[in-house]
Amino acid sequence: MKIVILKNSDEVAAYGADIFVRFISKKPAAVLGLATGSTPVALYKQLISAYEQNRVSFKAVSTFNLDEYLGIAAEHPQSYRYFMNHQLFNHIDIDKQNTQVPQGDAEDPFAACERYESAIKKKGGIDIQLLGIGRNGHIGFNEPSSSLMSRTRVKTLTRATIDDNARFFSADEYQPHLSLTMGIGTILESKKVVLLATGESKADAVKAMVEGPLTASCPASALQMHQDAVVIVDDAAASKLLDVDFYKHIEMENRKLNERFDR
């Protein structure tokens, strides 16, 4: 796991976006795994401006989102499909036919999950997966106690996640308690993983993910098993890590190596 600690959320977004821009420049038909929530919004803004400045094109890119609420349709303003269209897809040159989000209103959600896994496989797997992290350590909607081998499936949300996400729903609006989510096994198969976390509210989850034991109690700790996972955090989200200076030192050494070997 590579830990990058930066001053603030703007730097986190810029660093993360740069990874994606470079990746797509090298592989224009990259398969991206994408996330919703508050954290990636600033990164998506950076990708949009990179596109506007002709630094990147998404014409040949395909995407798979991590998750979707069960029981709401794509047109619903709180659906993750709606979020992706408005936060990213509508502003770049991606072919929407190449963008996939699990189908929240599928007649048979279980079959929809199986189809989603097959579609990812058919594309040759996800090249680079963007992740946020829940305060309880969830990735996607893989809540604590999720199987570390899990695949895309229907998942019940914890009370903590429902409460955290209530801010997106108005008081009289139906808020789903179930979701369709890529599994931890699905995420671990991505060739590269980029996780962003900002703010003090994520400090405990970041500590458990990076320095805690590998445990289903903190689903994100499964990333300790990934060969190419980059965790990008701001000082506040890193504030409970034991060895901040060491992680910063490694990152400085990595930057020097990258410059020297042009990586």
Is residue 138 annotated as a catalytic residue, yes or no? Answer: yes
Instruction: Select from 119, 125, 77 the least CA-distant residue to 101.
Output: 119
With respect to ligand F6R, which residue has the nearer C-beta, 138 or 207?
138
| Identified binder of ligand F6R from the candidate list 1, 3, 4, 35, rule CB under 6 A | 35
Q: Mark residues 42-71: x for contact with ligand F6R by CB under 6 A, - for none.
A: ------------------------xx----
Is residue 54 annotated as a catalytic residue, yes or no? Answer: no
CA atoms within 13 A on the CB side of 6: 18
| Identified binder of ligand F6R from the candidate list 9, 36, 87, 99, rule CB under 6 A | 36
Report CA-CA distances (Å) from 85 to 119, 174, 252, 255. Answer: 20, 21, 36, 34
Is residue 143 annotated as a catalytic residue, yes or no? Answer: yes
| Identified binder of ligand F6R from the candidate list 16, 33, 137, 140, rule CB under 6 A | 140
Query: Is 194 among the residues that bind ligand F6R (CB under 6 A)?
Result: no
Q: How far is the CB of 160 from ligand F6R (least distance, A)?
A: 10
Question: Is 127 in contact with 27 (CB distance < 8 Å)?
Answer: yes
Query: Is 238 among the residues that bind ligand F6R (CB under 6 A)?
Result: no
In a 3-state reduction of DSSP, which class is residue 246?
Answer: helix
Instruction: Select from 190, 13, 30 the least CA-distant residue to 94.
Output: 30
Residue type, 27: K
Query: Is 144 among the residues that bind ligand F6R (CB under 6 A)?
Result: no
Sign of the CA dihedral with 81 first, then 87, 88, and 89 last: positive
Distance CA 248, CA 4 (A): 7
With respect to ligand F6R, which residue has the nearer C-beta, 3 or 139?
139
Residue type, 235: D
| Identified binder of ligand F6R from the candidate list 38, 147, 175, 217, rule CB under 6 A | 38
Burial category of 175 from C-beta neighbours within 10 Å (exposed 0-12, middle 13-18, buried 19 and up): middle
Annotated catalytic residue: which of 136, 142, 164, 226? Answer: 136
With respect to ligand F6R, which residue has the nearer C-beta, 37 or 176?
37
Annotated catalytic residue: which of 68, 127, 143, 164? Answer: 143
Tell me which stretch binds ligand F6R (CB under 6 A): 86-94, 109-117, 131-139, 207-215: 131-139
Report CA-CA distances (Å) from 4 to 7, 44, 228, 254. Answer: 10, 19, 13, 10
Is residue 85 annotated as a catalytic residue, yes or no? Answer: no
Tell me which stretch binds ligand F6R (CB under 6 A): 14-22, 23-31, 127-135, 239-247: 127-135
Residues that bind ligand F6R (CB under 6 A): 35-39, 66-67, 132-134, 138-140
Active site members? 67, 136, 138, 143
